[in-house]
Amino acid sequence: MELNGSQIVIECLKEQGVDTVFGYPGGTILNIYDEMYKHSDEITHILVSHEQGAAHAADGYARSTGKVGVCMATSGPGATNLVTGIATAYMDSVPLVAITANVAKSGLGKDSFQEIDIVGATMPITKHNFIVKDIENLADTIRKAFRIAKTGRPGPVLVDITKDVTANKYNYEKQEPVKVERISDTIKKEDIDIVVEMIKSSKKPFILVGGGAVISDAAKEVRELAELVDAPVCDSLMGKGAMDGNSERYTGMIGMHGTKTSNYGVTMCDLLLVLGARFSDRVIGKAKAFANNAKIVHIDVDPSEINKNIKADASIIGDMKEVLIRLNSALTKQNHADWMQEIKEMKEKYPLALNKDVLTGPAVIDSLYNITNGDAIITTDVGQHQMWAAQFYKFKEPRQLITSGGLGTMGYGVGACIGAKMGNKNRVCVNVAGDGCFRMNMNEIATATRYNIPIIQIVINNHVLGMVRQWQTLFYGKRYSNTVLDDSVDFVKIAEGMGAKAYRATTVEEFENALKDAIALNIPCVIDCQIDQDEKVFPMVPANTAISEVFSEEDLAEKGYDC
C-alpha cells in the first residue's frame, strides 16, 4: 500500500514493537508528529521538558527493559540537544534509536533555518547513523537501525530524515522484524578448553563482572560459574545485579570507590575471570599495577576490547550468555575453601562505614534499600550519591541500577527514571541525585507530573558539588573553586511549583517517613535530604595509582590527615 514517509515511520515503529517514544516536536518533524497523533492509542508519546531528557528517558527505558529505547527531535537545536544523551548511551552500550528530521533535501548545505549536520555531529558517538534523503530507503533504514542497535554489542543509532521524505509517498509492505541472534560463531572450543584448564590450575580465582553480563541477561550463568569455580565475585558499576549483592561470594564493587576486599582480592588472586568489562581506568587504576599476580581471562562480545587496556592471557569472544553456558558445561566443581575463607575474613575486617545516627548519603541509601526490600529500580545522576548508591544498595538482579558509567553525565537521572518507570510500571522507581546534578535537568519533574508518572526523586543535598569538593579537599589544598552551591534555591518549593509532592528531611527518621509516604501515594515526589557538605565517599583510590593503594577515612585519620 502507498503511504507517506511519516506513516511509514510509524508503521516501522509498530513493526518493531515500540510502545513508548520520548521526544519534543518542531518544524521539520511536524509531519511525523501529526501521524503520531493518529496512533496515540498504539504508541505512547512522552513530551519531555528538554530534548536531552528524551534521550535519557529512552536510555533508561532501554537499560531497564532490555528493549530498544526510542527518542525523537526536530532539526537544529532539537537534534543537538540529543547529543549528550546519545553519547551517554554509546559509552555504556545501550540500544537506542534516535529519530530526527532535517530540512528538505533541497535545503541541505545552504545554512537553512535550523539546519544541522546531525549525522556528522554524532558519527563518533553512535554505533551507526543514517540520513534518509529518498523515501524508497526509509523503511529499510529504520529496520536496519533497530537491528544494528541491538545486535552484538548494543549501541545508539541515529536516523535523520529530510522533511520532504516525511511527506512523499512510497509503497510500504509490513515486515516481521528479523530475529537478532546471539553471537556464538566466534566461540571456539579450543578457547573454552584453555580457560577450563586455567581454572583447574588456579588456587585463588576471582571473578570480575562487567556490564556485558547484564546486557546479555547472563546473571543465571554468572552465578553458576561462581559456584563451579568456587570463587569470590566483584563487579564494575555497570555490572551491578548480575551477581546478587547479598551473596556470600559477593565482595562489592572494584576500583576507585570499590571495597578494600575487592581491590585487595583482585590484587592477590592468581586467576582473574573478567566477564564483559572493558577495564575502565576507574576500575583498574594504574594499568601496569593491575592484577599483577594473576593470569587474566577476558570474555567479551567485542573483539576490539581484548588487549585494549589490559593484556589478557586468554580470551573468548562471543555473547556472554552463550559463552558461559558452554564454559559452565565444560567445568567440574572446584574447591577453594581456604581462599574463600580468606576473602570472608577480609570482608569482616573491611566493612563499608555506615553511621545511622545522622542523615548521611550512606544512611539514605541504606534506608532506601531496607524500605524497598531491595526490589526498586534505582537510577542515579553522577557523583558522590552515585557511588553511595552503588556501595549501599544491594542489587539482587540485573537492570536494577540505571546509571551513567562511561560518560558520567550529570543531569541523567530524572529522565532515565521516567524511562525506567514507563517500562516497568509495577516497580518502584527512584532517582538519586546530588543537588548539583538535580539542578541540571530538574525540569523533567514537570514531565513526570504532566503524565502522573510516579517516580520518587531523592536529592542528596549538601549545597556543594560533592565529588569535586572531595577531590579539592584531598588533593587541592581545600581550595574550593566554584564548587559551593550555598544559595537560596529551595528544591521543595520548586518541586511543588512543578506539581510534585515534596518533603524536606534532616534526620534519618524524617527521610524514612517521607519515603514510605511517597511510595504509598504513588505520585511524583521529591525528597530533599539535607546532609553535611563535607561527607565523603570512602574507600577511595587516587587517580593513576594501583587499586591496592585503596584507603579509608580511618586510614587518613591514622596518618593525622584532617579531611
Residue owning grid cell 506539581: 499
Question: Is 200 assigned a catalytic role?
Answer: no
Query: What 3-state class would DSSP assign to 552?
Result: coil
Q: Which of 35, 51, 305, 322 is catalytic?
A: 51
Instruction: Decide: 542 and 522 in contact? Cβ < 8 Å.
Output: no
Burial 132-165, CB ≥16 within 10 A → b, else e: bbebebbbebbbbbbbbbbbbbbbbbbbbbbbbb
* CA 558, 561, 562, 563 torsion-angle sign: negative
Task: Give catalytic status of residue 114 as yes or no.
Answer: yes
| Per-residue b or e along 494-519, where b marks 16 or more CB atoms closer than 10 Å to that residue's CB | bbeebebbbbbbeebebbbebbeebb
Catalytic residue among 163, 204, 321, 421: 163
Distance CA 241, CA 431 (A): 17
Length of the chain: 563
State yes or no: is 113 an active-site residue.
Answer: yes
Instruction: Specify burial of residue 251 (Cβ count, 10 A radius: 0-12, 13-18, 19+).
Output: buried
Catalytically annotated residue among 72, 253, 467, 540: 467
DSSP symbol at 124: G
Q: Alpha-carbon distance 241 to 396, whole Å?
A: 5
288 catalytic per annotation: no
Of 38, 42, 113, 248, the active-site residue reads 113
Backbone angles phi, psi at 478, to 5 degrees: 60, 35
Distance CA 62, CA 245 (A): 22
DSSP single-letter state for residue 113 = T
Given 14, 15, 105, 114, which residue is catalytic?
A: 114
The C-alpha cell at 160 is: 535523520
Active site residue 322: no
Phi/psi-derived region of residue 526, left when phi > 0, alpha when psi is between -120 and 50, beta in every other case: beta
Give the residue numbers marked as catalytic: 51, 113-114, 163, 467
